Amino acid sequence: MPRLDDVARAAGVSKATASRALSGADGVSPATRAKVQRVADELGFRASGAARRLATGLTRTIGVLTPSVDRWYFGSVLHGIAHAADSHEHDVLLYDLGAFGHGGHEKFERFMRRGEVDGLVTITWSLVGGDLTRLAELSIPVATVGEPTPHTRSFCLDDDAAGRQATEHLVRLGHTDLLHLASQTEVQPFDASSSDRRKRAFEAVSAEHGLRMRPVRTVPTTLEGAHAVALHFLDRPDRPTGIVAGTDEVALGVMLAAHQLGIRVPEELSVVGVDDVPSAAPFGLTTIRQDPAQHGEDVVAWIMGAMRSRGRRGGDASQPDRSHTGYAPELVVRASTAPPRP
Amino acid sequence: MPRLDDVARAAGVSKATASRALSGADGVSPATRAKVQRVADELGFRASGAARRLATGLTRTIGVLTPSVDRWYFGSVLHGIAHAADSHEHDVLLYDLGAFGHGGHEKFERFMRRGEVDGLVTITWSLVGGDLTRLAELSIPVATVGEPTPHTRSFCLDDDAAGRQATEHLVRLGHTDLLHLASQTEVQPFDASSSDRRKRAFEAVSAEHGLRMRPVRTVPTTLEGAHAVALHFLDRPDRPTGIVAGTDEVALGVMLAAHQLGIRVPEELSVVGVDDVPSAAPFGLTTIRQDPAQHGEDVVAWIMGAMRSRGRRGGDASQPDRSHTGYAPELVVRASTAPPRP
DNA sequence: CTCGAAACCGGAACCGGTTCCATTGCCAGT
DNA sequence: ACTGGCAATGGAACCGGTTCCGGTTTCGAG
């Protein structure tokens, strides 16, 4: 494996000049630069990342903290992040904190201990209170996607609008007896998780239109979990005529349960979800669409910008950007919603 | 941020001793070691990963090449990998090659160019032929999970047994007219992808029992894709009485299509899948279970072992381990299979 | 009491880049 | 012709650890 020294010698220049030539810094004549680059190519030179990081202090890596990677939303965000990071010539260091609470804290501690990233994005807050504030210890840009947060720059669906749109869609169809299924948030450091905001939007719309007030139910975020609970609360005469689910997975679980109980969707029960997962379409699920991969791309774009501004000292004094981006939801009407039976 | 030098000075020892004390190397008296460790703690010392890598040549990082991260199988494997890597104090560098063929090669090139990992696991071969052999250029342990390969150590479900078990289950129930839906493999460098092996097992069992020979159909690996095709080929009088799907997602798509066409499962159509995804249970899908997260854990365990043996020079001369681990499939019988109607 | 091995430790080289600073060469301005 | 100034370049320090090598102790065996 050739070193920079070898390239320099072969090109007849000093290590310093070779470094400048290859890194694109100026102060090198075009002729010299071309020669060095050619020689480097011929020798198959690849700069040692370790040496570069040691010298520059930059890792060209961004870290991702995620509660888990095998759920549609998280996976899609991660996909967007990976794509964007790659196009910025950055690597992605993945920290799968695992099942919530399940040793997640220890993994977080190890992450902090290594801390070899230039920027960090957390997908949802899967951290407990104490850990949250510790993130400030790393003096690197931090952003969150999936939940609005007061501590960091954040990106996610406008949950309030999403909850409203879903509920109002059913109200417009004539429903007056709705039930909201909030998906369970395992860790909930703030009083305004995504799930909460959707729930409040539901309650607000319910109140505005004088709907029957049923207490919101909290169910597991998975299809199978929601299905199991739905089998119980759907199997009674005073069930609602429509259900606003916090998530497509939940909505699909409900549709399945309804089907198994002989309740026809949408004739006897309307169901709306949020997400627009790929299987929502074939199941005919009416839902609120969001594009997590795009969120991932955007968060990386922001991180890159933030890294640049820290780069040039002076932007340092300015307040860190803790603003929030809420994406506009888009209602997708399919076959799972209809006017209630008279 | 304190440096090793600071710790050494504060502890009244040399940098060399401090390094030995903290890294656990021997040649340090217990008393000295304790003192250095205490001082390091007090100062909040964290060794610079960059410096350590430069000095040792080890990155404490393993790379993961995956075709995408938002599909159940890949996500679960990645989850297992992340967990295992963490317990070995290693980081995970993620390379999401993105949609197959879609710039995947460029991303792969960038990966090779940086190449700062101690070990590499590829989830399925999403690489084209040329790229495959280039992996040997990196002289690090490489393993694959999700497909048996001739070039590397590999881990995956015993596809032959899985295909046989699924098919034989239907045969035992009395079916004689089956259709196999192989899931599409976008890149297929070898003549024996997972999908192929399951297909051949199906054909073998079919022949052994003299079943009606229908040509195998290849369908997209997604629920929505399989659903779309199933709507066509199920909607005809001479449809089979049973379907062996290469994947649960495909099986679920078929079940959905059948339902929409008014075909009752399992009375009029039996369906078997492979995977046992979480939603297979609520849907009552009979399937062949596998545990991808376990595969991820195992592949990391192997990588760690391989790294150690390369560490001690001498094991170097020995042939690299290219063996294959096939996990035994487990049939899970649920409600989607039954004897054919007479 | 002496001698040698073994344990412990410090100095310094090294990993492979980046970057500050000094030097050189060349050209325009007066 | 002289010089201020700028572009191009080289030397060397530096980033922060690890590790080789040689020098002291220490301690048990003879």
B96 closest CB neighbour out of A83, A93, A114 = A83
- Report d(CA A57, CA B86) in Å as an integer: 24
Residue B182: both structure tokens together: 């192989």
State residue A130's pLDDT score: 65
For A87, phi and psi rounded to 5 degrees?
-70, -15
What CATH number did the domain enclosing A194 receive?
3.40.50.2300
Residue B334 in any domain: the answer is no
Q: Could you tell me the residue range of the domain that residue B31 belongs to?
A: 4-47
Residues of chain A positioned with their CB less than 8 A from the CB of B62: none
B54 closest CB neighbour out of A51, A92, A278 = A51
Nucleotide C28 C1' to residue B133 CA (A): 58
Secondary structure (DSSP) of B71-83:
SHHHHHHHHHHHH
Q: Say whether B82 and A94 touch across the interface (CB within 8 A).
A: yes
- Tell me the nearest-neighbour CA distance from B54 into chain A, angstroms: 5
B49 closest CB neighbour out of A69, A98, A116 = A116
By the 10 Å C-beta count (0-12 exposed, 13-18 middle, 19+ buried), A97 is classed as buried
Shared-domain flag, residues B137 and B176: no
Is residue B211 within 8 A of residue B176, CB to CB? The reply is yes
Q: Which nucleotide is nearest to A20 (CA to C1')?
A: C18
Q: Say whether B116 and A50 touch across the interface (CB within 8 A).
A: yes
Residues of chain B positioned with their CB less than 8 A from the CB of A231: none
Shared-domain flag, residues A174 and A108: no
Count of the separate structural domains present in chain A? 3
Shared-domain flag, residues A183 and A273: yes
Whole-number percent of chain B with pLDDT over 70: 92
Residue B337 in any domain: the answer is no
Nucleic acid strand D: bases within 7 A of protein CB: 7-20
**Nucleic acid strand D within 7 Å of A32 CB:** yes
Nucleotide D23 C1' to residue B38 CA (A): 28
Q: Say whether A282 and B78 touch across the interface (CB within 8 A).
A: no
Shared-domain flag, residues A299 and A286: no
Q: Each residue's pLDDT tens digit in chain A (342 positions)?
A: 899 999 999 999 999 999 999 999 998 999 999 999 999 999 999 999 999 999 999 999 999 999 888 889 999 999 999 999 999 999 999 998 875 556 677 777 778 777 789 999 999 876 656 676 777 777 899 999 998 888 889 999 999 999 999 999 999 999 999 999 998 876 555 556 888 899 999 999 999 999 998 999 999 999 999 999 999 999 999 999 999 999 999 999 999 999 999 999 999 999 999 999 999 999 999 999 999 999 999 999 999 999 988 765 444 456 778 899 999 999 999 999 999 987
Question: pLDDT digit string (tens) for B249-305?
Answer: 999 999 999 999 999 999 999 999 999 999 999 999 999 999 999 999 999 999 999
- Report d(CA A269, CA A291) in Å as an integer: 27
Shared-domain flag, residues A135 and A174: no
State residue A151's pLDDT score: 81
- Tell me the nearest-neighbour CA distance from A227 into chain B, angstroms: 7
Shared-domain flag, residues A164 and A264: yes
Residue B66 pLDDT greater than 70, yes or no: yes
For B67, phi and psi rounded to 5 degrees?
-65, -30
Shared-domain flag, residues A224 and A121: no
Shared-domain flag, residues B143 and B256: no
Residues of chain B positioned with their CB less than 8 A from the CB of A96: 78-79, 82-83, 86, 92
State residue B314's pLDDT score: 44
Nucleic acid strand C: bases within 7 A of protein CB: 7-20
**Nucleic acid strand D within 7 Å of B58 CB:** no
Shared-domain flag, residues B130 and B224: no
Confidence class for position B313, pLDDT limits 50, 70, 90: very low
Question: pLDDT digit string (tens) for B131-159?
Answer: 767 777 778 999 999 988 888 899 999 99
- Report d(CA A131, CA A108) in Å as an integer: 8
Residue B251 in any domain: the answer is yes
Nucleotide D19 C1' to residue B52 CA (A): 12
Residue B341 in any domain: the answer is no
What CATH number did the domain enclosing B25 receive?
1.10.260.40
Residue B132 in any domain: the answer is yes
Average pLDDT, chain B: 90
Residue in the block written with tokens 């399992």: B266
Residues of chain B positioned with their CB less than 8 A from the CB of A113: 46
Q: Say whether A69 and B72 touch across the interface (CB within 8 A).
A: no
**Nucleic acid strand D within 7 Å of B55 CB:** yes
Residue B315 pLDDT greater than 50, yes or no: no
Residues of chain A positioned with their CB less than 8 A from the CB of B75: 69-71, 75
Residue A278 in any domain: the answer is yes
Q: Say whether A50 and B46 touch across the interface (CB within 8 A).
A: no
Residue A340 in any domain: the answer is no
Using CA of residue A144, residue A149, residue B80, residue B182, what is the dihedral sign? Answer: negative
Shared-domain flag, residues A78 and A132: yes
Q: Say whether A78 and B59 touch across the interface (CB within 8 A).
A: no
Mean pLDDT of B188-198: 73
Q: Which nucleotide is nearest to B55 (CA to C1')?
A: C15
Residues of chain A positioned with their CB less than 8 A from the CB of B98: 79, 82-83
State residue A186's pLDDT score: 63
- Tell me the nearest-neighbour CA distance from A4 into chain B, angstroms: 14
Closest Cα in chain B to A82: B96
Closest Cα in chain B to A292: B70
Q: Say whether B70 and A76 touch across the interface (CB within 8 A).
A: yes
Mean pLDDT of B187-209: 84
User: Which residues fall inside 7 Å of strand C, measured at CB?
Assistant: A 1, 3-5, 15-16, 19-20, 22-23, 25, 45-48, 50-52, 54-56; B 12-17, 26-33, 51, 54-55
CB atoms within 10 A of CB B129: 10
Question: pLDDT digit string (tens) for B78-134?
Answer: 999 999 999 999 999 999 887 555 667 777 777 877 778 999 999 987 665 567 677
Nucleotide D8 C1' to residue A38 CA (A): 19
Residue B189 pLDDT greater than 60, yes or no: no
Nucleotide D25 C1' to residue B11 CA (A): 20
Residue A182 in any domain: the answer is yes
Shared-domain flag, residues A101 and A138: yes
Among B290, B313, B336, residue at a domain's last position: B290
Q: Which nucleotide is nearest to A23 (CA to C1')?
A: C18
Shared-domain flag, residues B190 and B214: yes
State residue A311's pLDDT score: 63
Residues of chain B positioned with their CB less than 8 A from the CB of A121: none
**Nucleic acid strand D within 7 Å of A44 CB:** no
